[in-house]
Amino acid sequence: MANPKFFTWLMPKSVGNTIMSGAAVMIGFVLSVVLANASLAHEIRPAALQISESAPGTYEAVWKQPAVGDMAIRLAPHLSSGSLDKEPTTQSLEPGKIIKRWSVKGGAALDQQTLTVEGLSESVTDVLVSVTSPSGKTITAVLRPSAPSMVLGLSGPKGLSTPAYLRLGVEHILTGFDHLLFVLGLLLLVGTNWKIVKTVSAFTVAHSITLALAALGLVQVPSALIEALIALSIVFVAYELIPRRDGTSTLTRQKPWLVAFVFGLFHGLAFAGTLSSVGLPAGGTVPALLLFNVGVEIGQLAFIAVAIGVIVGLRRLSRHLPASYGAVSTYAPAYVIGGLASFWLIERTIAAVLVP
């Protein structure tokens, strides 16, 4: 990475001030977008509906919806028979989610009923659906804002169910902007060389360990604390992106895999938070956990591939840009990533303190 003293010699002071002002404007614009859509940082957690039918027309339905305190967006599941339109048998508030349960007896059979989630089309979240028939057949699916309803085809031929947890893992990482910023920071820190393989592998191993431990209930950490620590990890990586004036190399630059592993443990706990909000299917805990983790890795590798392509393209383009572009490319990513992460850190720390 270029030495900042070179750019100090190369550029007049006025040009340097212009670059710094431009970076400040960029950060301010991005932060204003985040302030207007603060919930998009990581509040795109999915809801879940699990229905288990013991006999035709007799079933238990459990609805789990993400919440902040006792507040949640308006989502409501409906069956075409109207059995879920009644008041739930029980309703409870747990950390990070609202849970409603219905016990239906003597109602219409679930097969061929239409399931619709009211309010889903106006949201930015998904709903993971799992329905088990009296014969033991289970169908899983993901309802999205673009497709908020489905027909429950329980009488069709048996076969492999839709790999909903795999898809959920892919979507979770690709919509988890904080996780992607951390990965981007690592990529910018390490560079597009063989070291990125070792660094990303360490991150993968770490978050896979804590994801499994937390999803299986062996480790429990408050989600608000984890979200704040994730923001802190991004701030740390952004700080490490700034070149040292004395030219020294920090431990992070010498052993980026170690930093990736340590912070990967926190990110794995956050991934587990998504699974805890939707739950794992009975009798299929290990496959669902594996599919979710594989989905996360697929999404992560896809993002890295695209990011490397963009970085290589910008490097080739830089040959035709003014020399001052070097200073912008050196400092702008650190300020933008650090600015966003600092906002998230403040926001999540306040939430951790104020929200029970």
Q: What is the pLDDT along the chain (356 residues), one digit of tens a residue?
A: 444 443 343 334 444 444 444 444 444 444 444 443 444 334 456 888 989 988 888 999 999 887 766 667 788 999 998 989 889 999 888 777 789 999 999 888 888 889 999 988 888 778 888 888 888 777 777 888 888 888 888 775 544 354 677 887 888 788 788 888 999 998 888 887 778 888 888 998 998 898 888 877 788 787 778 888 899 999 999 888 887 776 666 777 788 888 899 998 988 888 877 666 666 665 667 777 888 888 888 998 999 999 888 888 877 876 766 666 666 667 788 888 888 889 888 888 887 776 55
Identify the pLDDT of residue 277. Answer: 62
The pLDDT assigned to 41 comes to: 39
Report the alpha-carbon distance of residue 60 to residue 53 in Å, rounded: 7
pLDDT for 279 equals 64
3-state DSSP helix/strand/coil % of the chain, to nearest 5: 55, 15, 30
Query: Phi, psi (5° rounding) for residue 31?
Result: -65, -35
pLDDT score at 44? 57
Amino acid at 212: A
| Phi and psi angles of residue 130, each rounded to the nearest 5 degrees, phi first | -135, 120
Rounded Cα distance, 240 and 307, in Å: 19
How confident is the model at residue 254, as a pLDDT?
Answer: 81
pLDDT at 59: 92
| Per-residue pLDDT, 103 | 92
pLDDT of residue 232: 92
Beta bridge partners of 142: 128
Within a 13 Å sphere around the CA of 338, how many CA atoms are in the beta-carbon half? 14
pLDDT for res 13: 42
The token duo for 40 is 């998009």
- The per-residue pLDDT for 145 is 85
What per-residue confidence (pLDDT) applies to 327? Answer: 64
CA-CA distance, 138 to 291, in Å (whole number)? Answer: 16
Give the pLDDT of residue 116. 92
Q: What is the pTM of this model?
A: 0.64
